[in-house]
Structure 1
C-alpha cells in the first residue's frame, strides 16, 4: 500500500517547475563514478554513493545535507573517501538556458568535513588527508516524470586538513537521481505508515 501511495505522490504534480517551489522536499543520491578499468596487472574498480536530503526554503533554492562514501581499489592500492556536509543548490529559471521543458540547470556547493585515505598494498604505506571540504559545480536535472529527475553533476572537491598530505583535489562527473516531493505528500505517507503500524500492532 505504501508503495502505491509513493508512486501516486511522485506522479501527481502538474509541471516540472512546480517541483522546485518553496516548501518541497528533495531526496535521492548521486552515484559517483561507478567504473571498472580492466588492464593486465592493473585492474581497478571505483564505486561511490552520495545520498542527499534537502528542503526548498525559497523557489529554486534548496538547503540540505549529504553523505559521501566512495572506494577505489586495484591490485596495488585501496582508496577510501568519505564526507558529510550541508549543501546548497540553486536552479536557474531562465528560458534562454532551456533546451527542453523537462530540463533544469543548477549550481551546487557544499562545505563540510571529508577525508581521503590511500593504502598501498605492496609497501603497506598510507597517505591521508582529513579535514575541511569545499565542493562546487554545475549540474543538469532531467525530469523523466514531473517529480523524478535523472541528474548529472560535474563537481570539484578540495579537502584541506591534517594527515601526511595536507590537500586533496578531486573532480568527478556524478550521475544520480532525485525525487521532488511536496511536503504535504511526505506527511501523508508518514501518517499512513504510522496508522498501518498501529493497526498491525
Structure 2
C-alpha cells in the first residue's frame, strides 16, 4: 500500500512539473490547428475549414515567437461560391504561469496562453470580392498536455485582413482545435541527426 501511495505522489508531482518544462527558454513548439470554425463578422461570412501549421521558439520561459501559414476554404451553403484563404506571417505566444495575479489554471496538466499574429494574407471569393493585405489576429487559448511533449489546444481568435481589393477589411472570429509538439532543442537536434 505504501508503494502504491508513493508511486501516485511521484506521478502527480511529475505531471505537474511537466506542464512547465515544455515552455522553457530554448524549446521548440511545432503544431497545427486541424479544425477551424469561422463565424463571419462581415456580410457573407460563414463556415471555414483550414489547415494552419505553425512553429515557434521559446526566447524566454513562457514566451515563444515563430511563424505560421494558413491555407483553407469557405463554402457558406450548397451552390454558393468558394472562398479561398491564404496567409503567412509571424506569431507570438505568451503562456500564463500558475499563480499569476487573477489566474487559476483549470487543470494541472495545461496552460492558458495568449496568441497574436501579423503577416500578409488574403481572401478570394470565386466570382466575387477579394482582399489582400495586412493579416492580423489575437486571442486566448488553452493547451492541455496529454503527454509531457504533446498538447491538445483550443484557441478563440479575432482575425482580420486589411488592404487592397473589393473590401478594405475582412474580419472573422474563429474557434480552432489542434495540437502542438513541444521539443527541447537537444531533442530537435537529435531528430535532425537521425533523419540525416
Shorter chain as denominator, the TM-score bin is 0.7 to 0.9
Cα RMSD (Å) of the superposition?
A: 1.6
SS in 2 for 1:165: coil
In 2, Cα distance between equivalents of 1:183 and 1:135: 28
**Kept after mapping to 1: 8 A contact 2:72/2:85:** yes
Matched, 1:99 2:106: yes
In 2, Cα distance between equivalents of 1:190 and 1:141: 26
**Kept after mapping to 2: 8 A contact 1:32/1:172:** no
Matches within 5 A, 1:26-41: 26-33=29-36
SS in 2 for 1:191: helix
In 1, Cα distance between equivalents of 2:91 and 2:134: 14
Matched, 1:116 2:123: yes
More displaced 10-residue stretch of structure 1: 95-104 or 63-72: 95-104
TM (normalized to structure 1)?
0.79
**Kept after mapping to 2: 8 A contact 1:32/1:70:** no
Displacement after TM superposition at 1:46 (Å): 3.7
SS in 1 for 2:192: helix
TM (normalized to structure 2)?
0.81
**Kept after mapping to 1: 8 A contact 2:31/2:53:** yes
**Cα displacement string for residues 142-188 of structure 1 (whole angstroms, at most 9, x for unaligned residues):** 00001100000001011110011111001100000000000001101
**Count of residue pairs the alignment pairs up:** 168
Displacement after TM superposition at 1:33 (Å): 2.1
Query: Partner of 2:89 in structure 1?
Result: 85
Query: Partner of 2:9 in structure 1?
Result: none
In 2, Cα distance between equivalents of 1:128 and 1:162: 8
Runs of 5+ unmatched residues, structure 1: 1-13, 36-43, 120-124, 195-201
Query: Partner of 1:185 in structure 2?
Result: 187
Matches within 5 A, 1:45-56: 46-56=48-58
In 2, Cα distance between equivalents of 1:105 and 1:52: 18
